[in-house]
Structure 1
Amino acid sequence: MPGLSRLRLQGSLVAMATALLTACGGGGDTSSGSDTDSNATTTFATLVRVAAEPAGTQCPLAGVRVDSGKDIDSNGVLADTEVTATQYVCNGATGATGPTGPTGSTGNAGSNGLSALVRVQVEPAGSHCAQGGSAVQAGLDSNSNGVLDNSEVTSTSYVCSGPTGATGPTGSTGSTGSAGYDSLLLLTAEPAGANCTYGGQRAESGLDTNRNGVLDITEVTRTSFLCSAAPADTQWVNVTGGSVQAVSNTGYLANASTPVTITLPANPAIGDWIKVTGVGTGSWTVAQNAGQRISTRALPGGSNLSWTDKGLPQSWSAVAMSSDGTRQVAAAASGNLYVSTDGGASWILRRTGAPWTGVATSADGLKLAACANGGAIHLSTDGGISWTTDGSSRAWAAIASSADGNRLVAAAYLDGVYTSSDGGLNWTQHESGRAFRTVSSSADGRVLVAGTNGAELYVSNDFGATWTARASAQYWWGLASSADGTRLYATVDTGNIWTSTDFGVTWDRRDYARTWRGITTSQDGRFVVATTDSGLIYQSTDFGKTFDSSADVGAWTGVASSSDGQILLAGKFGADLYSGTRRAYTTLGVSGFLSGGRDDAIQLQYVGGGTFVPISFVSANLVFTVN
């Protein structure tokens, strides 16, 4: 074992180096301190420090660094200032690769599938081909007789002759013309792939322009595919009641009037799958073994939110969080600003004395910007530990940040919208005098939106250099942007939620009129969460097309989301902070399950680590039940 030999040699070298260095001063005594001989001469103990040496100039393949020196301060620890000699014990190069092991035995041959057959016959003029042509028929050779019988035809396509042109005026008799071109058809095998999942036939047609009787590649004008059906790889088990233990790569028909339970395969290999289809009137449930779970993020009903009361009652006005949700910040109109570095589990008071109206954070949660009505913009670059201000005094209403925290946009009521490209050190005013109340920013700070109180939305696609009025006059309250700025969301006080999918050029109304307040979205714009005053929280998992209620009734204000939409933070005015988590999996282990009903179907594939993911599903009952 070359690796073991190298380790033993390395250990021996370190021991030898240590012994030699120790022998150079202080004798064999390893204790700290100094000795005084009979002549009143003080000698200091020699210390040795051994540490790992990363790969680099001293040791190309890494190794061990051995520092030594006299314990001048007699504290028993070799300080950096006491090191007088350094040696390196370096790892040797990797040994040659061993011989290749023997080839494993050949696996069992799979069963033969049905052959795909094709036949071409003349198609008379009619509904399929006005001028006649050829009918190309295909299907599986169910009786294995090598002939495509009429009962085996499953698809037919047509290669039609062109229509007859309109009769032109009679011209002078010309010379005898050359013969016309023949129409040719070429059938070749199509391997399994993007065109035919399970293989099949490629049908190419065109005119024989060089009259060689062969359809050359340059003569092909049309290509179609006659694809084979899926191989008979699914063995279906009819479950008429009770529960069954599933076997990998098997389908199950839940065919009962009472609930049916199918438990996931106990020892699946990566890539194994099961299928479940609801046939009977009873429901079906996919149960789990210990250590198993099912990914539900892509399933209807699989991404529901749950909210936890975190306490800390304040008059919360604004919240924000880092892209991963670890660092969170919450500001209150009463003057307190709190920061959490553990995903909202605990909170530290970091700033007081300002009636906060807005707060923003960079993606890493270290650069914070907070604004106050009638005050300044407060800035921090260390996660809220220390702060500076920009020295302004305006009716600041809201603030937003780019992902890197360098580009900021802030709204000042009846003053204008302000932008900064240097983290808030300098600001430029735009659209002065308007009653701006809310702002949003894309991750790069290019796409900006500012909402007014009673007028239009203003959109910029050039980092705030120019602004264009969009949508109609509304009492805009909150704004949110996807990372790239393509998808934008806006709330209206006692109005609707509005959405845009073209960088704010056009806007559509969504959901019902409510007393909407804050709104937030995931970086891709799929997950949207909006709050209401004296109402519920509402969430969308389909890019704002539909919304479902969430959380309890309250005077909700601001809301913030992690970039993946899985972690949320919301505040109530005069009440507590609430932490939201979005379901992404079933509960781990035997208590977790996924349920459906009649006409619902799902295929789950094992991807390792105890996790199954849905690779296809049919949700006839709109949602699946997840636990």
Structure 2
Amino acid sequence: MRSLAACLIFFCAAVFGTAAVGDSLLLDAALAGDAIVAVGERGLIQRSTDGGDTWSTVDSGVSRTLCAITFLDQRNGWAAGHGAIILRTEDGGNSWQHQFTGDDEESPILDIMAVSGGHVLAVGAFGAYYESRNSGADWEQHFILEEDMHLNRISRSRDGTLWLAGEFGALLRSRDSAKTWQPLSTGEDGSLYGVLPLTNGNLIAYGLRGRVYRSTDDGESWTRVETPGTGLLMTGIELASANTLIVTGQARTWWVSRDGGQTFTATIDDTPAIAELLLTPSGHLVTFGESGSNPAPSHSSKN
């Protein structure tokens, strides 16, 4: 995500603005075993081993903004971002090496996922789609869209189904580990920033103008859900409590559902813009965004 406020061209673009002095813009985070590793502006990588209470900065070796991070297990992970760069760690995020640069350095990589074994996917602006099946030793570029729409986020259901959310309502599903992708539709063309698979098999898609959609048939059909605002929604998470989930982003409010996404209410106002939510191994919710890393308000975690 860029660090200057600009139009919403990329999922990783500067919807947040420049981070204040003392606050580092963080855009994504992932678990490496019990450790949390977060990435952000100007190549920043931070690591916590105490559930996000304290952080140490790790040398990434790059100055480009990093938009996304993923771990296969407690040791092997990848980070990606502007300049179409991909970094790799083999020691749980303590050290990083440059692994790959895409053909189009003007198209940032916006998300990356370690699917299984050595299978890694990376997607981004203008339809960028890179795939490795040998832990990143080799990468292949594919074109899975007819138009160069931005691909914003990859997610995965418990049964292994993969989901891609993107610009102009782009929504794709793969049931064969990314060998093929099937285009789906919510029925509207607003850009989507993610699909949240729920433990009961249902799906929540979210994106621009505060729009949320719900599917109960594995993405074949979608119902628009009424929401309490119109802000950009950039991330969502399901909590341990039955049917409880949160979506948030640039809206600066937390929208909470306690009925599996059928209805949402705004419960927390005036929060900093948030790019990612993460549950620690102990079940505490941590936020990442324009004010760096912070514990979620107490009544949002474990509820």
Which TM class, normalised by the smaller chain length?
0.7 to 0.9
Matches within 5 A, 1:105-124: none
**Rounded Cα–Cα distance in structure 2 between residues aligned with 1:349 and 1:330:** 10
Aligned to 2:255: 538
Alpha-carbon distance in 2 for matches of 1:440, 1:392 = 20
Aligned to 1:345: 53
Aligned mates of 2:269, 2:35 — CA distance in 1: 25
Bigger Rg over Cα: 1
Q: Deviations over 1:217-274 (max 9, x none)?
A: xxxxxxxxxxxxxxxxxxxxxxxxxxxxxxxxxxxxxxxxxxxxxxxxxxxxxxxxxx
The answer as to whether partners of 2:239 and 2:302 remain within 8 angstroms in 1 is no
- Whether the aligned pair in 1 keeps the contact of 2:274 and 2:287 (CA below 8 Å) is yes
Q: 1:491 aligns with which of 195, 206, 216?
A: 206
1:476 aligns with 2:192: yes
Tell me how far 1:340 sits from its aligned partner: 1.0
The secondary structure found in structure 2 opposite 1:346 is coil
The answer as to whether partners of 1:409 and 1:441 remain within 8 angstroms in 2 is no
* Shift in Å, 1:313: 1.0
Match of 1:281 in 2: none
Q: CA RMSD in A?
A: 3.2
**What is the match of residue 119 of structure 2?**
407
Aligned with 2:288: secondary structure? strand
TM-score normalised according to structure 2 size? 0.75
Distance 1:527 1:348 in 2: 32
Shift of 1:533: 1.2
1:425 partner amino acid: A
2:288 counterpart of 1:578 = no
Q: Quick one: distance in 2 between partners of 1:412 and 1:445?
A: 24
Whether the 8 Å contact between 1:314 and 1:576 is mirrored in structure 2 is yes
Q: Of residues 151, 154, 165 in structure 2, which corresponds to 1:440?
A: 154
Aligned residues: 270
**Residue among 394, 415, 431 paired with 2:144:** 431
Counterpart CA distance in 1 for 2:31 and 2:285 is 9
Alignment-derived partner of residue 132 in structure 2? 420
Cα displacement (A) at 1:563: 8.1
- Other structure's SS at 2:95 match: coil
The 1:449–1:372 alpha-carbon spacing in structure 2 relative to 1, beyond 3 Å, is same
After superposition, give the CA deviation of every residue in 1:310-329 in whole Å (9 maximum; x if it has no partner).
x9611222233358xx4222
SS in 2 for 1:313: coil
Find the counterpart in structure 1 of residue 219 from structure 2. Answer: 504
Partners of 1:318 and 1:379 lie apart in 2 by: 15
1:271-314 deviations in Å (ceiling 9; x for gaps): xxxxxxxxxxxxxxxxxxxxxxxxxxxxxxxxxxxxxxxx9611
Q: Distance in 1 between matches of 2:243 and 2:278?
A: 12
Distance 1:418 1:502 in 2: 29
Aligned partners of 2:235 and 2:249 also within 8 Å: no
Aligned residues of 1:328 and 1:341 also touching (Cα < 8 A): yes
- What amino acid maps onto 2:270 in structure 1? V
Which of the numbers 300, 320, 336 marks the counterpart of 2:44? 336
Structure 1: tracts of 5 or more residues without a match:
1-310, 586-627
Counterpart Cα distance in 2 of 1:479 and 1:504: 10
Tell me: CA distance 1:516–1:345, structure 2 relative to 1, closer, same or farther (3 Å).
Answer: same
> What code does the residue aligned with 1:359 have?
I
Question: Per-residue deviation at 1:373?
Answer: 1.8
Query: What SS class does the counterpart of residue 454 from structure 1 fall into?
Result: helix
Which SS does the other structure have where 2:190 is aligned?
strand
Secondary structure of the equivalent of 2:94?
coil
| 1:515/1:533 contact within 8 Å kept | yes
Distance 1:377 1:449, change over 3 A: same
Asked if residue 466 in structure 1 is aligned to residue 180 in structure 2, the reply is yes
Alignment of 1:74-93 (within 5 A): none
Residues in 2 aligned to 1:423 and 1:529: alpha-carbon distance in whole angstroms: 32
Which one scores higher on RCO, CA 8 angstroms, separation ≥ 6? 2
- The 2-side partners of 1:407 and 1:474 are apart by 30
**Is contact 2:25–2:289 with CA below 8 Å preserved after alignment?**
yes
Match of 1:514 among 224, 227, 230: 230
Q: Is the partner of 1:494 in helix, strand or coil?
A: helix
User: 1:457 is matched by which residue type in structure 2?
Assistant: L
TM-score (normalizing by structure 1)? 0.39
